[in-house]
């Protein structure tokens, strides 16, 4: 077997902390406290592609807490040594061969251990509890635990129940007891998406969570919220005085939110068949972008104040009547076509996809928000796989000037195009304001130009990936970037009528689009009915 410099019996981890005190530009106002991170689903895709590399990179940035331990929990009979090899391969796979030779990686691997157990076997959780107690003593993890559920969603309820039954909803003994004889570390549970598959299942899962954990302990993931550009939406809106006065129905005509991917469903056919674009992207990521764009200023930049305002937006989204879903929602499925110069197969030809599948790989929805700020302003959202470009953006389209002063100008359409402000979430992260300018010369001729802010040139490199940000926030106990129970349930309420209509008539309105195009024609009709056209990012 591959070895990485640890004695097979040496599952004792380092005595010394992973990271020293922080004195870098990334210094945190609240450095994370010592803790153990328990990964359920440690042999899965998410753990190896995102989570283990993210923890390693946090160690490289010197921001992992003093006293840290990574514990894998899973069904497979792995030794501690094998778990370290798995972690090392994940780090090498992400950062390139040879990374494992670095001192930081060596230190990081020294914190890694493994507990084998079935997900529904109480005995496994007792072993996990014992291991965590031992790590409190040997690794100084302070009785603090993060349980990260990176398993298939069907396992979430059983893991949460068993954690509660094993008493793992409360932390281990920590330091000197207080006057009540109590002094325990904290416990946080991180739950990956999808959180439920509809409103009923999300409510049922919340009920299970509430039996074992307090809402303050629960961190529901939406990795879009941790993207720097997404966090910047609030700074852009509320740290600059000039936008808020025009951020409303008087000046804004409509909003377009696009998340386009060139990839197909890859190896995730089985999952995607159950999900589809509406559940996979719109119920979570795109509705989050919508709430950040539309929310009122919070009274403070605190988790609850921000989440209160976001929840109010979802609450104000006008319910779409099931019998009128076709007027508000469009779906499509990709067929063979050309993306990035290569011929790609259609969705029904993908691995683990039914040859007669009716799952949508593209969805476009028109939402209306019933409040004073947004009355009458459509928010169009669309997402799709196998589109021509990989891009996520929020485009705020302003109203046209009320009167065209430059009547003799040769504006191609005969009308001056409206200004728009485009927040480029990814790639080429930045913000562009598109305005009309005069083309130099004796005649008055207009041309749209962009005032462009680009992260790449204006600011330092983005320090953390989304998962690093989320892990760090969880360690410091900041829930701002995580979804609260009411938000998740409201988001399911918003998409429920569409899910219901599409479930009741799986073929109705399902059109196909060629891979490498911008989705079905019906999506263009959806906005054209309101006199609009989609941007071509």
Catalytic residues: 285
Cα–Cα dist 70/82, whole Å: 14
Nearer to ligand BG6, 35 or 202 (CB): 202
Nearer to ligand BG6, 173 or 269 (CB): 269
- For residue 425, the minimal CB distance to ligand BG6 (Å) is 8
Cα–Cα dist 494/173, whole Å: 43
For residue 203, give the nearest of 491, 505, 416 by alpha carbon. 491
- For residue 222, the minimal CB distance to ligand BG6 (Å) is 8
> Binding residues for ligand BG6, how many (CB under 6 A)?
3
> Binders of ligand BG6 among 388-407, rule CB under 6 A?
392
- For residue 209, the minimal CB distance to ligand BG6 (Å) is 20
**Is residue 29 within 8 Å of 119, Cβ to Cβ?**
no
Exposure string of 181-201, with b = 16+ CB inside 10 Å and e = fewer, is eeebbbbbbbbbbbbbbbbee
> Binders of ligand BG6 among 138-177, rule CB under 6 A?
none
434 three-class SS: strand
Nearer to ligand BG6, 279 or 484 (CB): 279
Kindly write down the DSSP assignment for every residue of 75-87, as one continuous string. Answer: SS---HHHHHHHH
Nearer to ligand BG6, 86 or 425 (CB): 425
> Binders of ligand BG6 among 244-273, rule CB under 6 A?
261
Nearer to ligand BG6, 261 or 473 (CB): 261
**Is residue 51 within 8 Å of 471, Cβ to Cβ?**
yes
Residue 33 as a binder of ligand BG6 (CB under 6 A): the answer is no
**What contacts 433, CB < 8 A, 6 or more positions away?**
419, 420, 421, 422, 450, 451, 452
Task: Kindly state the greatest CA–CA separation across the chain.
Answer: 85
Q: Which two tokens stand for residue 479?
A: 């829930």
- For residue 509, the minimal CB distance to ligand BG6 (Å) is 22
Strand order in the sheet with 112-116: 112-116, 68-74, 35-40, 145-149, 187-191, 218-220
> Which residue sits closest to ligand BG6, CB atoms considered?
280
Helix (H) or strand (E) holding 146: strand 145-149
> Binders of ligand BG6 among 353-392, rule CB under 6 A?
392
Per this entry, what is the length of the chain?
A: 537
- For residue 66, the minimal CB distance to ligand BG6 (Å) is 31
Cα–Cα dist 279/197, whole Å: 7
Binding mask 202-241 for ligand BG6 (x = CB under 6 A): ----------------------------------------
Nearer to ligand BG6, 44 or 477 (CB): 44
Residue from 57, 280, 350, 468 that binds ligand BG6 (CB under 6 A)? 280
Q: Which two tokens stand for residue 249?
A: 């129905």
- List interacting residues with ligand BG6 (CB under 6 A): 261, 280, 392
């Amino acid at each position: 077997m591959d070895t990485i410099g640890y004695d097979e019996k040496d599952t004792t981890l380092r005595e010394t902390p992973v990271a020293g005190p922080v004195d870098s530009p990334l210094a945190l106002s609240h450095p994370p406290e010592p803790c153990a991170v328990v990964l359920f689903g440690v042999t899965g895709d998410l753990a190896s592609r995102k989570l283990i590399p993210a923890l390693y990179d946090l160690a490289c940035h010197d921001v992992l807490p003093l006293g840290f331990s990574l514990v894998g929990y899973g069904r497979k009979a792995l030794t501690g040594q094998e778990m370290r090899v798995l972690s090392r391969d994940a780090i090498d796979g992400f950062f390139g061969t040879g990374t494992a030779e670095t001192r930081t990686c060596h230190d990081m691997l020294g914190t890694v251990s493994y507990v084998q157990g079935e997900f529904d076997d109480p005995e496994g959780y007792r072993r996990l509890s014992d291991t965590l107690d031992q790590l409190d003593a040997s690794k100084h993890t302070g009785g603090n635990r993060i349980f990260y559920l990176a398993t298939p969603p069907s396992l979430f309820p059983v893991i949460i129940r068993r954690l509660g039954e094993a008493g793992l909803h409360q932390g281990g003994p920590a330091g000197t007891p207080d006057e009540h004889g109590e002094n325990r570390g904290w416990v946080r549970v991180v739950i990956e998406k999808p959180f439920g598959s509809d409103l009923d299942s999300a409510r049922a899962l919340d009920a299970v969570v509430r039996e074992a954990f307090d809402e303050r302990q629960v961190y529901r993931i939406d990795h879009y919220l941790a993207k720097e550009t997404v966090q910047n939406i609030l700074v852009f809106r509320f740290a600059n005085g000039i936008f808020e006065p025009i951020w409303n129905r008087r000046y804004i005509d409509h909003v377009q939110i696009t998340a386009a991917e060139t990839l197909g469903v890859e190896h995730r056919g089985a999952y995607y068949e159950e999900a589809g674009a509406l559940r996979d992207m719109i119920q979570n990521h795109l509705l989050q972008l919508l709430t950040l764009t539309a929310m009122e200023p919070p009274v403070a930049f605190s988790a609850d104040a921000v989440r209160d305002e976001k929840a109010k937006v979802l609450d104000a989204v006008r319910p779409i009547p099931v019998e009128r879903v076709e007027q508000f929602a469009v779906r499509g499925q990709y067929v063979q076509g050309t993306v990035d110069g290569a011929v790609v197969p259609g969705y029904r030809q993908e691995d683990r996809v039914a040859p007669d599948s009716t799952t949508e790989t593209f969805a476009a929805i028109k939402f209306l928000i019933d409040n004073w700020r947004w009355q009458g302003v459509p928010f169009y959202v669309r997402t799709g796989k196998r589109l021509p470009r990989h891009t996520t953006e929020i485009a705020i389209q302003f109203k046209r000037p009320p009167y065209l002063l430059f009547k003799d100008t040769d504006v191609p359409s005969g009308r001056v195009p409206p200004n728009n402000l485009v927040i480029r979430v990814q790639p080429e992260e930045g913000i562009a304001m598109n305005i009309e300018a005069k083309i130099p010369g004796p005649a008055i001729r207009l041309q749209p130009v962009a005032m462009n802010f680009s992260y790449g040139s204006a600011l330092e490199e983005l320090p953390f990936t989304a998962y690093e940000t989320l892990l760090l926030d969880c360690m410091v106990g900041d829930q701002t970037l995580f979804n609260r129970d009411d938000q998740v349930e409201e988001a399911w309420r918003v998409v429920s009528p569409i899910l219901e209509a599409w479930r009741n008539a799986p073929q109705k309105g399902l059109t196909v689009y060629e891979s490498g195009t911008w989705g079905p024609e019906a999506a263009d009709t959806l906005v054209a009915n309101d006199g609009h056209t989609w941007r071509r990012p």
